[in-house]
Amino acid sequence: MDTRQFYGRKEHDRAVRVIPSDSEDSELEESENEDSEVEESHEDWIPESGECLSLDNDTESEDEDEDDVEEVDVPRLPRWRTPHNAHFNACPEWQDLLPKSDDIMSPLQYFKQFFSEDILEVIVEQSNLYAIQCDANKPLNLTIKELEQFLGIVVYMSLFGLPGTRMFWNKACRVSQVADTMTLNRWEAIKKHLHFNNNEERQEDNNDPLHKIRPLVTHLTSKLTSIPMSEKLAVDEQMVPFKGRNRLKQYLPSKPKKWGYKILVLAGSDGVPYNLEIYTGRVVQPPELADVGASGNVVLRLAQPIPKHKKYKVFFRQLVYECPSCAYTGSAGNSLHWYCSWQQTTRCQLDVRC
């Protein structure tokens, strides 16, 4: 069946029916007479001056009423109110300056500032020792030059983005920058025996979960704390993606990378980190610092390298939920200004001396 015929109107309904001439319906005549009478009445009526003024006043009053209605209907912007429990003090002036850098270093020079000769020597020594501990007949004989090439290949692989490491040496997708620097067997041998600490020196009472990488973490932390700090600092957590098997692996559903190692970082407003701490569970608070709770202790530990008596500003969020836990006074007398966001709505400023 034709859809137009099924859904459309019938042909006999579309035609306009003609009114017969002998129709007794008088409604048409009455309507015509009424229209003519209205037209004649409009032609005969002439408004007076007073009536014109009254009409004008009526129209003006109606316009004013419409304007009032429009003004009431316009939504107003919300006004932020200061909570009663918040105390805002004047922000003190920063009493420190960042040094001016006259020489611009290359990326390799920046990299060597963190991975200096002393830490490379420790890695070479511990890697060769671990290879002998595994098999005395197959020493690794790693050198500092080969270790630098290995680290360069690792950085290049992370930027290039192939799904497998062996694909860099495969004929189908060979990458000359990697394959010409080191052979596949040598690269995998260094990766297999790469170590930072001696496993045999670990005592039974040493419960450090980061024992194998403790020299590297200590070295990098000392390099970060030596960087000149900016005025505004922040303490927050950062995820290092990892889905392997390790008891230090954390799951944070609110993060873009939900699985991995959690690192607590003290960084500046420009994103430069100045101190870090890898989360390993419960940590014993140093005796020189007060115990203000697990979350507050993290902030106090990371704030230790901040210069004293320089009026630095520290911001933290979702780490210290109770504001009274930050009211800590230490013996050093360093005047810091801490800003915490409580429930992401109420901001309170605390003068903390640590």
DSSP 77-141: PPPP---TT--PPPPPPP---PPP--SPPPHHHHHHHHS-HHHHHHHHHHHHHHHHHH-TTS---
Greatest CA separation for the chain: 126
- Beta-strand relationship, 259-268 and 232-241: antiparallel
Alpha carbon distances (Å) from 117 to 114, 140, 152, 190, 216: 9, 19, 15, 18, 13
Pairwise CA distance, residues 241 & 48, whole Å: 88
| 57: exposed, middle or buried (Cβ count in 10 Å: 0-12, 13-18, 19+) | exposed
- The helix/strand/coil state of 14 is helix
Q: Which of 346, 323, 83, 330 is nearest to 338 (CA)?
A: 323
DSSP 35-88: HHHHHHHHHH----HHHHHHHHHHHHHHHHHHHHHHHHHSPPPPPP---TT--P
The per-residue pLDDT for 95 is 78
Pairwise CA distance, residues 317 & 234, whole Å: 9
Q: Which of 251, 276, 269 is nearest to 261 (CA)?
A: 251
Pairwise CA distance, residues 244 & 258, whole Å: 13
The per-residue pLDDT for 343 is 36
Tokens of 41: 């009445």
The per-residue pLDDT for 52 is 46
Digit-by-digit pLDDT tens for the chain (354 residues) are 566 665 655 555 555 555 556 655 554 455 445 555 444 444 445 555 444 444 445 555 555 555 554 455 666 766 766 655 555 556 778 878 888 877 788 888 989 999 999 999 999 999 999 999 999 999 999 999 999 999 999 999 998 888 899 999 999 999 999 999 999 999 999 999 999 999 888 766 678 889 999 999 999 999 999 999 988 899 988 899 999 998 899 998 888 889 999 999 999 988 899 999 999 888 888 888 888 787 888 888 998 899 888 888 888 765 444 443 344 434 344 445 555 543 333 333 333 433
The per-residue pLDDT for 3 is 63
Pairwise CA distance, residues 28 & 110, whole Å: 98
CB-CB neighbours of 168 under 10 Å: 21
Tokens of 45: 């009526």
The per-residue pLDDT for 346 is 36
Sequence-distant (6+) residues with CB within 8 A of 121 are 144
